Amino acid sequence: MMSAVTKHEIAKMIDHSLLHPTMDDETLKEGIELARKYNVASVCIKPYAVKMAADLLKGSDVMVGTVIGFPHGNSKVEVKVFEAEKALEDGAVEIDMVVNSGKVLSGDWDYVDAEIGAIAAVTKKQGAALKVIFENDFLPEDSYKIKLCGICNKHKVEFVKTSTGYGFVKQSDGSYNYKGATLHDLELMRRHADPEVQVKAAGGVRSLEDTLKVRELGVTRIGATATETILMAIRDKNT
């Protein structure tokens, strides 16, 4: 399986994640340089650092992405629109937006539809990609995810995405954790998203084995902090 895929192909699946709250500016710069070194698809960086990332990645093939309404999706639609516009102005070309989980769980589909549509209008106007984060750990039934896929199909978004990686849910032992990108959810999302809507797996993809597994399901992008670990595991002399 490993011989059938190149390091370049795997690198171009990776959005190198630089979102942890404790990452200081020096850590962000190191992450951006790592992304450039391995020529990944993009960096997904904290919104205030978009301009810095765009400047440091100038002349490379690594795109700049950022997050909107992150991580809980509770901002008003107008605020998310402003965030998206500002991020694109600063140099982002990919936007990962968190849906309003409370509205999803309320079954207020008109609100959810209008929110996704509002952000999609911004990204399409600027020729940017929109990734809609479902935060599947918050959604107890597949029906919510299927409905979200349908709305994303309607607005012709570029990606549907499983998780933020920060959607912690109280477990039976009292601890807080998340499942992230499960194979079940990835299969479900690939099945219900239109063929031209790509699927991004985020949360829990930490190894080359994980990456190859989700790739087989039709996933074309992953969010990863373990970028170097994943790519160093490939022994491909042709890249």
Interatomic CA distance for residues 204 and 211, integer angstroms: 10
**210 given a catalytic annotation:** no
**200 given a catalytic annotation:** yes
Which long-range contacts link 112-116 to residues 24+ away (Cβ below 8 Å)? 112/148, 112/151, 113/151, 113/154, 113/155, 114/77, 115/77, 115/80, 116/151, 116/152, 116/155, 116/157
- Among the options 7, 80, 145, 161, which is catalytic? 161
Give which of 151, 132, 145, 153 is closest to 187, Cα–Cα: 145
Interatomic CA distance for residues 74 and 98, integer angstroms: 8
**96 given a catalytic annotation:** yes
- Among the options 7, 80, 145, 200, which is catalytic? 200
Count CA atoms closer than 13 A to 20's CA, side-chain side.
10
Q: Which residues contact 208 (CB under 8 A, 6 or more apart)?
A: 2, 10, 229, 230, 231, 233, 234
- Among the options 90, 96, 137, 185, which is catalytic? 96
Enzyme catalytic residues: 96, 161, 200
